């Protein structure tokens, strides 16, 4: 980032000749796609061999399954035994996002010498370096996605290429684009023009969202550990070998982010469904026959939950209040700006949480299992309310402390 601010013109020109923007950005997108894909391909081959010591099929069968898993992490959906599976393994998506961020940041650093310098950008000169790099990054990633979909496609799988491209675009816009902007140094320049209230609100939103997701993940893990015997029993019904059990655990781990978002929806109150005509919420639990998936052992028993579970619904606003207080207490803002940043950041965090919850569900099988996931609209209302009110309360405490600290100085000046 500092290269954009300090690099002299002749050095930037040399860097531009050594690192062509088109090549660097396109190659960055290709490598960002290939990194997680190669890891999954290796796991697929190992899993193929571990399942039956390579007696049936060929290594390419394991690689094809891995490619389909990579595509599923990009929203492609797959067809299994005639049933359409559209639920996205967000663990794979998170791996792809991490790869995008790392490679996007490196691309941004590599192209930081292109375009106008910091002074000329500050003067308003048009700079298309980052938009061009983002477009080329997306193009490289999309080419890999289309090729993988074409190679892995078949009558028994039928991944959706348009959905893969749509998810690739969204990931590029939400992950790769900020990474390239940060790595190139442009983000620091652009954000300096934003009002201090907006920057503080963005910090509150990011902190509230991340802490709520962490609390939800901890809640799910505690529930899963408490039901470990049941999870082990579910796994034993499949009679797996040790290597197959390890592979099955890895498959389940790909859906841990989904489970965390389900837990967040439960904490907010609306809950989620695990099949048609089902409900899992703090107020009631209605279940039907469930597939043999160890993660489902964390579900509460059917019926009316214990009264103390309702207390957990206070966690989202409490977390939002504490986080907003910690983020804003050292900000050099007026009390009105602090209140606005807290409330606005909380509202944005609530909307973002609802968006994530909306992509965590989908069809997980035929029949009633076509309806699995949070109730998005209700989650949106509860998340916006809980996060917005909680963050406003935390910001109000900061504003009150600021007002009390300023009052003695005002009284002293009056004397």
Interatomic CA distance for residues 40 and 74, integer angstroms: 13
Across 52-60, average pLDDT: 66
Could you give phi then psi for residue 241, rounded to 5 degrees? -75, 170
pLDDT at 13: 45
Task: Answer yes or no: are the C-beta atoms of 337 and 200 closer than 8 Å.
Answer: yes
Q: Report angle CA 207, 204, 121 to the nearest 5 degrees.
A: 105
**Cβ-based burial of 2 (10 A; exposed 0-12, middle 13-18, buried ≥19):** exposed
| Contacts of residue 111, Cβ cutoff 8 Å, sequence gap at least 6 | 19, 21, 24, 25, 129, 133, 180, 184
The pLDDT tens digits for 226-278 are: 999 998 888 888 888 787 788 888 889 999 999 999 999 999 999 999 998 89
Phi/psi at 279 (5° precision): -155, 130
Give the residue with greater pLDDT, 17 vs 258.
Answer: 258
* Tens digits of residue pLDDT in 308-329: 888 999 999 999 999 999 999 9
Q: What is the overall mean pLDDT for the chain?
A: 87
Among 126-135, 175-184, 298-307, 397-406, the least confident range: 397-406
Tell me the pTM.
Answer: 0.90
Residue pair 118/189 in contact (Cβ under 8 Å)? The answer is yes
The H-assigned helical ranges of 172-255 are 177-184, 186-192, 196-226, 228-236, 242-253
pLDDT, residue 1, reads 43
Percent share of the chain, pLDDT over 90: 59
- Model pLDDT, residue 268: 96
What does the pLDDT read at residue 68?
Answer: 92
Among 88, 59, 71, 31, smallest CA distance to 153 is for 71
Q: Does position 112 have pLDDT exceeding 90, yes or no?
A: no
Higher pLDDT, residue 333 or 123: 333
């Amino acid at each position: 980032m500092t290269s954009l601010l300090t690099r002299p013109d002749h050095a930037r020109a040399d860097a531009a000749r050594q690192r062509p923007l088109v090549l660097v950005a396109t190659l960055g997108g290709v490598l960002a796609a290939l990194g997680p894909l190669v890891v999954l391909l290796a796991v697929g081959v190992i899993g193929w061999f571990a399942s039956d010591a390579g007696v049936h099929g060929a290594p390419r069968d394991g690689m094809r399954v891995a490619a389909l898993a990579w595509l599923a992490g990009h929203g492609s959906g797959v067809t299994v035994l005639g049933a359409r599976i559209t639920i996205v393994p967000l663990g794979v998506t998170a791996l792809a996002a991490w790869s995008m961020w790392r490679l996007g940041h490196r691309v941004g650093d590599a192209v930081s010498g292109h375009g106008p310098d910091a002074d000329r950008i500050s003067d308003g000169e048009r700079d298309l370096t980052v938009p061009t790099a983002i477009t080329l990054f997306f193009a490289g990633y999309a080419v890999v996605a289309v090729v993988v979909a074409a190679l892995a496609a078949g009558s028994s799988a039928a991944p959706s290429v348009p959905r893969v491209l749509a998810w690739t675009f969204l990931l590029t816009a939400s992950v790769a684009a900020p990474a390239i902007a940060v790595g190139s140094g442009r983000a620091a320049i652009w954000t300096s023009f934003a009002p201090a209230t907006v920057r503080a609100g963005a910090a509150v939103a990011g902190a509230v969202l991340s802490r709520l997701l962490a609390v939800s993940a901890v809640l799910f893990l505690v529930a899963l550990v408490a039901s470990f015997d049941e999870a082990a029993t579910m796994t034993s019904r499949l009679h797996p070998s040790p290597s197959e059990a390890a592979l099955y655990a890895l498959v389940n781990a790909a859906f841990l982010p989904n489970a965390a978002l389900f837990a967040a929806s439960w904490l907010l109150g609306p809950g989620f469904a695990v099949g048609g005509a089902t409900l899992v919420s703090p107020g009631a639990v209605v279940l039907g026959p469930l597939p043999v998936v160890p993660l489902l052992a964390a579900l509460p028993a059917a019926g009316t939950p214990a009264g103390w579970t309702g207390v957990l619904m206070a966690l989202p606003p409490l977390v939002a209040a504490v986080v907003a207080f910690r983020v804003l207490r050292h900000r050099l803002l007026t009390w009105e700006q602090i209140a606005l940043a807290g409330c606005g950041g909380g509202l944005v965090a609530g909307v973002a949480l609802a968006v994530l919850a909306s992509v965590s569900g989908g069809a997980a099988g035929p029949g009633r299992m076509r309806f699995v996931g949070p109730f998005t609209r209700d989650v949106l209302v509860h998340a916006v309310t809980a996060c917005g009110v909680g963050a406003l309360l935390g910001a109000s405490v900061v504003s009150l402390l600021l007002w009390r600290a300023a009052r003695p100085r005002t009284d002293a000046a009056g004397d």
